[in-house]
Structure 1
């Protein structure tokens, strides 16, 4: 009826011309080197399409034909396109499994459960699938559509939102369906959000879809025979996904993980007056639940909490199978989430957190043990191993996405998306580029803190309380907005230096000079305050009982000292700002 292999359902950006072209799955993959990117309604659809369809299709279709080591990966990547044998393998796989990619197939609709229904044969509006559409108590800001408007999805759009639902759907209560033994009183409770909803997704992107595919296929990961994508599991395997029943379990491998069916869904296709298909109704019910996010999840960085440990018993090799050794403590490791409202580069310390490499340069107290550490993504660790074989000026981008859910997980409160250019040289854990980037990020945060202290001191000088920490009204947030294009320019500029320490230091010096000017731009607005009493100031009793006098001159002096301590490379005159002490 509507086969995703052939129908032109996915718009792509043509690399050479910049034009938009709709293609089917088969053309998209076999000609992946021709296209720069897939086009989506919202940024969170991009990782959903790659994980639910593009990457697992390649992994399953090209078993034994994908690079098995670093040298083979580099050879294929520098070739710039799939080999003729690999393209033939993709086409052969499509012929063998054609019926499994029919979006509206009567027996095995793609990523759905055939005949899925409630006890009363109820369906819901297609807005159930669309994260940006108004539905019930989910009322997105600036939406031009109300809950009462019918939403008709074209087949391609329905396919994208279907895969998005499996990855990012809200949690809490879901409709109970016939055949779900764990449903009670027509509903299933306790549903978690989709598996990507727990992550701060980090996807490496290249110049073409082919390069992006390879950047997201680690040569270190092997696919076991029992690991299958959702379209091959159906209702006959150990972990069926085309039935109303669901399980809580760990994934069997990367194919299972990427095509995780977090919901049981049935699209209800209809024909318009011109004979074209559309989707206005759907059934969405509870699906499989991950026991926990596996350590080999490729698209997230990690937080390792050293203050909390999980204790387990470990076998000794010489003991009998039933014998156990002493208790061993393991630090708690959890996926790192993006912070909504913060630029992606502010998380570079985590994205460049390699083993045995310091996260913060020049730690002020080396004797103080950190309570938590970060660990970068598996894909970036793999790329670090081959970076020396690639063009140092290669324009690698990191596509960062995430969602924030409401208190009961039933609504989407906010979304995060950013793209960060990353020099390949930054992946060298002991290289000057990595150290320069971490220093720039650290100093940006310290400059924001210095501006916030200046604003706080000036407010105390006129008898007001400082703006609360983390409030968006803080002056430091304005400074960070000014620093954003400067940091992105530094990231792109550092692609040109490779491991040249002198060139790297020169660029960092120029960045510090620009950062100093930006800091004074914000500071001068604060210092030119005409509020009565700000010059003479006020004496304030602090929390520790000490009395301090805050006035305009002392606040400016403290700010100048902070800048000198933070930006040691920049030696330009601080500012033309003056006070009338």
Structure 2
């Protein structure tokens, strides 16, 4: 027996480990040992986190195993007050630990990875019509297999890939959540298989989402942050290891653990978390050291979600299409829902989507009609965290909450993985307060970063037109705005950490925003100066007239730069007002300063080096700070 409850398969990091000094709350390194699920949950307050092979494994392990196990054993948290009390306690109570132990004893045999009769998250006896198996690389998303082989891959399907039971367990859960779609092997006795294949398989359920996983200081806090409160168990809603209970006709009632599969809606959160998107069987073999290794697998078609259930899915933000836009598209594609999960964009920093993550004032309520609204909704987990903070002030405003965002980009088939998305951002809890200054400061900074990127792109376009070229096509990778966003990335993350540190202090939030504007202007001028320096050809000073229809416009270097200066002042308007105020104060000070009676200053003859007619030109240096805030003069 190889039980996920007791075998050490999850490497952990401890609470008392030395933390890194970068202010993001992460540990300084991986943990020194691995634990099973029993120890991980009973002592969840002692562990900061567990290590995974790739980031997309973590939400799979939480959803396929940890969250449904805790909820099935202890039930949902009753309301916000109970959630706040449990969170403040920081650990499972003695009674809760006893109930978890009782659950482990009652269902311990369901977590055997290599059980002959009911292997965990698998189908016993699963086989193809020809008795074929495939290499275990089919489970591993980072290894090339089949048609998904890159040019310089060093392995083929004929090469064995032995997985330890711990590795096999992690990749097994990952496959149920993220496996590719399109054609899958048809299992023997599957009436829906044709020619040994099943066509039209969707990707795993998490592959349709932009996953947002809140993480706390300990595994215990992370569990609570990911469990919705105020819900009741629905009829028929069970984790996959209990779905066969109450099923009287297995042949006509497809459930997890059987060959048959169906397309249906999830009965509730427990079934959704443990959705068996594939029918899988692992084949262990003894290795040279006597330990079992998984080298061959059968991976066949599994259950298909009829739709992403808005009332049960908590690990994604949402977008609601306007009624007008949806009415135009409804006739063309009736399968597309009006409210759909918001996907992460590969190559785009997570903080650029904070406007959706912080849309707590538009959190979705399935009991009310929302036909008149459209836009973003944050995830239910962040919405409930905002609500419990307002009512119970728990957690504290300076709590070090982390958001882990994961997604997988598939190709058009979608039978192969194109790319993987992972980002982690520190989220100030004060930003979840609808009317708080930190929230406005943060959203304002994000919007300013986007607008600065557009201003730099417009500068580049104007310079290209002045030189006789066309502007870059939409979405071109050469856009200088992307270079600026890359430079602004550490500044935004620094702002996030600093806002989290100060909590709800409005005065400090405004001071941080002022500092952000100065740093952002500095980086914007670095990119702009490079563009202006590269565009120093003589023809750019004279410019070029471009006629479009009946209108004509002259593009030249000076107008491009002045336009960028105006855009910078409009975007960073508070900074522009501070500079204007400093200039007014400086002029007033000069006007109020009485003239000196010193003959060395008033008599030209007493100072032969002076010239009363001299006047500093526009290129004179008024001081290093002025140059920094104004940008280079030309």
1:303 matched to 2:313? The reply is: no
1:95 matched to 2:105? The reply is: yes
User: Cα RMSD over matched residues?
Assistant: 2.1
Please name the residue that 2:466 is paired with. Answer: 461
Please name the residue that 1:365 is paired with. Answer: none
Give a deviation string over 1:514-564, Cα, whole Å, max 9, x none: 101110111111111255335334424354553222221111110000000
Please name the residue that 2:10 is paired with. Answer: 10
Please name the residue that 2:160 is paired with. Answer: 150
Q: Which moved more, 1:371-380 or 1:100-109?
A: 371-380
| Separation in 2, partners of 1:493, 1:141 | 44
1:340 matched to 2:342? The reply is: no
TM-aligned CA deviation for residue 506 of structure 1: 1.3
| Separation in 2, partners of 1:113, 1:92 | 26
TM-aligned CA deviation for residue 457 of structure 1: 1.1
TM-score for the superposition, normalised by structure 2:
0.83
TM-aligned CA deviation for residue 221 of structure 1: 2.5
| Residues 254 and 260, structure 2, Cα contact 8 Å, conserved in 1 | no
- Counterparts in 2 of 1:107-506, with a 5 A limit? 107-139=117-149, 145-234=155-244, 237=247, 238-296=253-311, 297-306=313-322, 307-309=324-326, 332-355=338-361, 372-387=374-389, 388-506=393-511
| Separation in 1, partners of 2:562, 2:555 | 11
TM-aligned CA deviation for residue 435 of structure 1: 1.2
TM-aligned CA deviation for residue 498 of structure 1: 3.2
| Residues 205 and 398, structure 1, Cα contact 8 Å, conserved in 2 | yes
| Residues 212 and 315, structure 2, Cα contact 8 Å, conserved in 1 | yes
Q: Which moved more, 1:210-219 or 1:488-497?
A: 488-497
| Separation in 1, partners of 2:535, 2:125 | 71
| Residues 463 and 535, structure 2, Cα contact 8 Å, conserved in 1 | no
Against the structure 1 CA distance between its residues 160 and 469, is the aligned structure 2 distance closer, same or farther, given a 3 Å change threshold?
same
Which structure: greater helix fraction?
2
Give a deviation string over 1:470-523, Cα, whole Å, max 9, x none: 222210001101111111111111123333332221111111111011101111
TM-score for the superposition, normalised by structure 1:
0.91
Please name the residue that 2:591 is paired with. Answer: none
1:58 matched to 2:70? The reply is: yes
Against the structure 1 CA distance between its residues 537 and 175, is the aligned structure 2 distance closer, same or farther, given a 3 Å change threshold?
farther
| Residues 497 and 504, structure 1, Cα contact 8 Å, conserved in 2 | yes
| Separation in 2, partners of 1:79, 1:534 | 71
| Residues 495 and 516, structure 2, Cα contact 8 Å, conserved in 1 | yes
| Residues 460 and 531, structure 2, Cα contact 8 Å, conserved in 1 | yes
TM-aligned CA deviation for residue 84 of structure 1: 1.1
Please name the residue that 1:577 is paired with. Answer: 632
Against the structure 1 CA distance between its residues 506 and 141, is the aligned structure 2 distance closer, same or farther, given a 3 Å change threshold?
farther
How many residues were matched structurally? Answer: 548
Give a deviation string over 1:326-382, Cα, whole Å, max 9, x none: xxxx9810000001111000000000112359xxxxxxxxxxxx9950000000111
Against the structure 1 CA distance between its residues 331 and 192, is the aligned structure 2 distance closer, same or farther, given a 3 Å change threshold?
closer
| Separation in 2, partners of 1:159, 1:343 | 31
| Residues 122 and 257, structure 2, Cα contact 8 Å, conserved in 1 | yes
Among residues 511, 515, 518, which one is paired with 2:520 in the alignment? 515
| Separation in 1, partners of 2:15, 2:427 | 21
Which runs of 5 or more structure 1 residues have no equivalent in the other structure? 312-329, 358-369
| Separation in 2, partners of 1:372, 1:140 | 41
Q: Which moved more, 1:109-118 or 1:88-97?
A: 88-97
